[in-house]
Amino acid sequence: MAAPVTTPPPPRSIRERMHEAVFVLVLCLAQFLSLVAMNQTVAPMLILAEYFRIGDYGNLSWFSAAYSMTVGTFILPAGIPSPYFLSWFEHS
């Protein structure tokens, strides 16, 4: 029995490739800006420690850790529907 004849999918247009490239660029920039914002929590740390009269460096580390945990709180739920959106982009 002969194998069924399948036609190859049409080549992707330049517009589709540009949309995909912009989408990936936006995701990379979002991750980069999240790290930049976390680094900006470290800069005023000593000023905040002086204001709140905190002298222990172990307690100061919680300032940046709190930001990281807050970002992680939003990243984890956002990861649940991401396969659905990615499959939608692949099939559109």
Nearest to 64 by CA among 89, 88, 41: 41
Mean pLDDT of 49-56: 88
- Determine the residue type at 76: L
As given in the structure block, the two tokens for residue 70 are: 């807050």
pLDDT band at 43 (very low <50, low <70, confident <90, very high): confident
Report if pTM > 0.85.
Answer: no
In a domain, 80, yes or no: yes
The first and second tokens of residue 79, run together, are: 């990861």
More confident residue, 17 or 86: 17
pLDDT band for position 51 (cuts 50, 70, 90): very high
Whether residue 21 is contained in a domain is answered as no
* Range(s) of the domain holding residue 40: 34-91
H or E element that contains 83: helix 82-91
Give domain status of residue 59, yes or no. yes
CB 49 within 8 A of CB 55: yes
> DSSP secondary-structure letter at 80?
S
Q: How many domains does the chain have?
A: 1
